[in-house]
Amino acid sequence: MAVVDLSGKVVVITGGARGLGAAAARAVVDGGGQVLITDVLEAEGAGTAAELGGAARFIRHDVTSEADWQAALEYAVAEFGRVDGLVNNAGIATGQFLEHESVEHFRRVVEVNLVGVFIGLKAAIPLLRAGGGGSVVNISSAAGLTGLALTAGYGASKWGVRGLSKIGAVELAEARIRVNSVHPGMTLTPMTAPIGIQAGEGNYPGAPLGRVGAPEEIAAAVAFLLSDAASYMTGAELAVDGGWTAGLTVKHLTGQ
């Protein structure tokens, strides 16, 4: 995987203990940056930070807590001196038919996946302003670009992340704060492993490329948006989904 230049940048990544978040943290460090990994999974988060060495730190962080957000960002500044980028990656996903979804569960998913992004974006703005600008990458989903069955809370929250990203992009452009959303398709992570997906060619015919994604492939897109190479990109929605949201393949149309 190509290394994106992130030399000198300090990035906070939520949900960074494993999966997409951990891959994004590795991409930041590989690119010459420093990273604060946050997560509620303390042992795994600390382990990932230790693996990445002196350029990484970890703090326990519940993204639905304003106090936790303040503590995390203060820790980033104390350890690294500033914050240049934020990746709102933390999220939860479950499948349920709309008619069977409980209000309590729907609220919980939206609270983590959308309200957590809002709190983080709001909390990071003063630090990014103070540094003369920066980049926020909000992890949405292919389910935030199209309707997907069994994702009432998840899909609604990811559509919300997409919209919030555009609002942030418009409002914060004058401060040179870029806000973009990334929309992964089916990717092999601890979150998706329970549904039995498998890596490898031909194992995911739902996507035109015929396979599921690897965390590193999503992380490469995130690293690009964090970097100065994406300096003219804000308010964009970047689908990294093997073509899944592009349309139906010939095989799906013909059944052959």
Residues in contact with 166: Cβ distance below 8 Å, sequence separation at least 6, in sequence order: 179, 181, 235, 237
CA 142 from centre of chain: 12
Exactly one of 75, 154, 204, 232 is catalytic; name it. Answer: 154
- Which strands sit side by side in the sheet containing 177-184, from one edge to the other? 56-60, 34-39, 10-14, 85-88, 134-139, 177-184, 237-240
| Distance in angstroms (rounded) separating the CA atoms of residues 253 and 123 | 47
The phi, psi pair for 74, rounded to 5°, reads -65, -40
Residues in contact with 237: Cβ distance below 8 Å, sequence separation at least 6, in sequence order: 140, 144, 145, 162, 165, 166, 180, 181, 183
- 196's tokens: 């039995």
Verify whether residue 204 is a known catalytic residue. Answer: no
| Distance in angstroms (rounded) separating the CA atoms of residues 30 and 37 | 15
| Distance in angstroms (rounded) separating the CA atoms of residues 221 and 183 | 10
Q: Which of 131, 138, 122 is nearest to 86 (CA)?
A: 138
- Helix axis angle, 116-130 to 66-80, nearest 10°: 30
Q: Is the CA virtual torsion 213, 217, 221, 226 positive or negative?
A: positive
Q: Which residue has the tokens 């555009």?
A: 166
Report, as residue numbers or ranges, the catalytic residues: 154
